[in-house]
């Protein structure tokens, strides 16, 4: 049985390496994970003024994420942190009392043209996700930082770096095990 994963794409760029990484994962792990990208590009900015009556695209976004077995965050790094559009999306996920992410098995990947592959953004993301109003079950360890990503993908967006592919294979394997353990614990 394939795990239904909603991949929240943290970049709003049409040429995002993080989207390309998710597309690579969607194809490579199709038998194990049913990965569907979810975009944050057009969400209304969060405001308490509209929190009780959110726009339709915010409700669609939250329902899309809720309609999953697991969540994958694909996060670039902007100025040593996560992009504003991703933070806005997470703010919406944390509000409304529906606990969209609570206990949902989650893992994180990130890539950048720099050598560090979104390390600082992922650290900030993990801190943000520790908020009790969010509280997903985040895969511990297994950090995926794809640095110099432009040198590790071909022109069609497929990863070509064997070490990166092997590492990603092990992380996905670990996530699948984590998913089954987490789901068993939540049901108990």
- Nearest CA to 62 out of 120, 123, 133, 125 is that of 133
Q: Rounded to the nearest 10 degrees, what angle do helices 119-129 and 84-94 cross at?
A: 10
pTM for the full predicted model:
0.96
- Nearest CA to 157 out of 16, 12, 62, 9 is that of 16
- What pLDDT score was predicted for residue 188? 59
Note down pLDDT in tens along the chain; length 188 residues: 799 999 999 999 999 999 999 999 999 999 999 999 999 999 999 999 999 999 999 999 999 999 999 999 999 999 999 999 999 999 999 998 899 999 999 999 999 999 999 999 999 999 999 999 999 999 999 999 999 999 999 999 999 999 999 999 999 999 999 999 998 887 75
**In angstroms, rounded to a whole number, what is the distance separating the alpha carbons of residues 147 and 144?**
9
- What pLDDT score was predicted for residue 185? 84
- What pLDDT score was predicted for residue 182? 95
Instruction: Identify the helix (H) or strand (E) that includes residue 139.
Output: none
Alpha carbon of residue 105 to chain centroid: 11
**In angstroms, rounded to a whole number, what is the distance separating the alpha carbons of residues 119 and 81?**
9
């Amino acid at each position: 049985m394939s795990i239904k994963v909603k991949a929240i794409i943290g970049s709003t760029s049409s040429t995002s390496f993080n989207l390309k990484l998710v597309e690579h994962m969607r194809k490579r792990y199709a038998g194990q994970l049913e990965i569907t990208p979810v975009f944050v590009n057009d969400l209304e900015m969060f405001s308490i003024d509209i929190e009780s009556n959110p726009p339709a695209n915010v409700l669609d976004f939250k329902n899309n994420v809720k309609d999953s077995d697991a969540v994958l965050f694909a996060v670039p790094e902007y100025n040593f942190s996560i992009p504003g559009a991703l933070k806005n999306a997470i703010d919406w996920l944390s509000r409304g009392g529906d606990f969209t992410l609570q206990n949902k098995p989650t893992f994180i990947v990130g890539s950048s043209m720099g050598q560090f592959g979104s390390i600082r953004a992922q650290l900030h993301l993990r801190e943000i996700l520790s908020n009790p109003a969010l509280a997903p079950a985040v895969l511990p360890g297994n950090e995926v930082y794809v640095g110099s990503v432009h040198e590790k993908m071909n022109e069609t967006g497929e990863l070509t770096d064997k070490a990166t592919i092997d590492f990603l294979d092990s992380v996905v394997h670990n996530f699948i095990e984590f998913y089954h353990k987490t789901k068993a614990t939540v049901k108990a």
